[in-house]
Structure 1
Amino acid sequence: MTDQIRNIYCIGRNYRLHALELGNEVPDSPLVFTKPSHAVVPMNGNVVTLPADRGEVHFELELVLRIGKALQPGMKPDECVDGLALGLDLTLRDVQSKLKAKGQPWLEAKGFKNSAPLGGWVPYPGEEALKMSSFKLIRNGEQAQLGNSGDMLFGISELITHIDNAYGLGRGDLIFTGTPAGVAALQDGDVLEAYLDDKLAANCTIKLS
């Protein structure tokens, strides 16, 4: 799965309620961080193994965009996108809190192995059409998160333009677009199911080891 992935850009605090639930300031421009491509692991009914000795591991369900071509003059930004998936931006929350307190980068908390479980790709409907769809995470049979791209602080076109201008964006790059409120610590044996509207888009069982 990682062979065709180049850069993984992630957006922090892109849903107001999620920023507030963690006690963070709401940003006035996109907050971008990255994950290594080796963080990606399939989320297709498999078992995802995560560290059990580094404090809480939090789930964060996100809409993930796959870039199919570079942004060219005259193109609409979302014309660069050729695929959509649901994925998890898993976070070592205790590690992240310590890094934030020291003013250090988040990579250790965000980029560990298996920190980016990813479901299968589906056709991208376009930025406006996507706002008609919701996505949700079901944890052990109960809804944990519910989101809609229309609630993003920074929309898809704005994210693509910002990332392209600041860092560059091309074929094979992924964008994790941010998570809605409802994140929490995972437990060993948790069964996670991610839905786009009412269609199962990704699922896995968590093993803390």
Structure 2
Amino acid sequence: MGSGRLQAAQAASPASVIPPLPVPALPVAGQNAIFPVRRVYCVGRNYLAHIKELNHDTREPPFFFQKARDMLVQNNAAIPYPTLTHDYEHEIELVLAMKSGGMNIPVSDAENHIYGYAVGLDMTRRDLQKQAQEKRQPWEAGKSFDNAAPCGSIVPVTKSGHLNKGRIHLELNGQTAADGNLEDMIWSPAEIIAHLSTAFEIAAGDLIYTGTPRAVGKVSPGDKLAAHIDGLPSLRISILS
């Protein structure tokens, strides 16, 4: 190889100045396989009862925000109580795991892009979120922080079928703390994908948290959470004392 070609090859593969970062991934239920995660999207205010309990305008449609993928937490993890908050809350959600995507996906085609489903928790520093809302500032401090996105193992659609109804509920220290049904979503999973794809190009590896039913609540050090959706493996996490 001539010197010019060698230099070109070296330029095409630059050295990393820090160790290469791992790609966050979730286990696939019943398989020795993982689902590498590209992005984490979340839907806000997708259940009418949740909108009412937080005293928001019920005429406004759901909307989207994001969490960093390295904020994912796997099943049976013990996580620290986050800093800067005195109002740390749970939100149980159905999570869509995407195998493909694109822009402007029709509702009629949206479910064809779903690889599988999981149970997730959109952990929230509610006081910081409210402060940001009052100041008309971004939500990141309230929604996107370390360990803010627990998620269980992913069940492929071939095993679960598509989930548009079924009980979704959370137990806090063994007592029911949130309860609802997937069919109460304002936007269905297919409609969520269609709306999201008008703003972002959805791709394989994306996770979409689909919103929470009513009865979000506070979490304290030492608490144990168990999140359940009919047909999916439960997600359990504990908060370190």
Amino acid of the residue matched to residue 68 of structure 2? P
Pair 1:101–1:38, CA change in 2 (3 A)? same
Equivalent residue number for residue 196 of structure 1: 229
The answer to whether structure 1 residue 51 and structure 2 residue 73 are counterparts is no
Q: Which consecutive unaligned segments of at least 5 residues does structure 1 have? A: none
Runs of 4+ in structure 1 off by over 6 angstroms are: 72-75
Q: Aligned pair 1:153/2:186, yes or no? A: yes
- Please tell me whether the aligned partners of residues 50 and 206 of structure 1 are also in contact (alpha carbons under 8 angstroms): yes
Q: Which runs of 5+ in 2 are unaligned?
A: 1-22, 26-35
Task: Give the letter aligned to residue 66 of structure 2.
Answer: T
Q: Tell me: higher relative CO, structure 1 or 2? Use CA pairs within 8 A at least 6 residues apart.
A: 1
Q: Which letter does structure 1 place at the counterpart of 2:186?
A: L
**1:198 positional shift:** 7.4
Deviation at 1:13, TM superposition (A): 0.6
CA contact (8 A) 1:9 1:175 kept: yes
* CA distance in 1 between partners of 2:165 and 2:50 (Å): 21
* Aligned with residue 38 of structure 1, among 64, 67, 70: 70
Name which one, 1 or 2, has greater alpha-carbon Rg: 2
Q: In structure 2, what is the Cα distance between the partners aligned to 1:88 and 1:145?
A: 12
Name the SS for the 1:159 alignment partner.
helix
The CA distance in 2 between the partners of 1:38 and 1:13, in whole Å, is: 24
Which is worse superposed, 94-103 or 4-13? 4-13
Task: For residue 77 of structure 1, report the CA deviation from its aligned partner.
Answer: 0.4
RMSD: 2.0
Compute the TM-score of the two structures, normalised by the length of structure 2. Answer: 0.79
Aligned residues: 205
Change (3 A) 1:172 1:198: closer
2:94 to 51, 58, 63: 63
Cα contact 2:94–2:118 (8 A) shared by 1 = yes
Matched residue, 1:118:
151
Q: CA deviation at 1:196?
A: 2.1
Q: How does 1:9-48 map to 2 (within 5 A)?
A: 9-42=41-74, 44-48=75-79
The whole-number CA distance in structure 2 between the counterparts of 1:23 and 1:116 is 24
CA shift, 1:199, in A, is: 6.1
Offset, 1:147: 2.3
**Cα deviations by residue, 1:93-112 (Å, 9 ceiling, x for unpaired):** 11011100011110111110
Q: Structure 1, residues 59-89: CA drift from partner, whole Å, max 9, x if none?
A: 0000000000124878610111101111110
Greater strand fraction, Structure 1 or Structure 2: 1
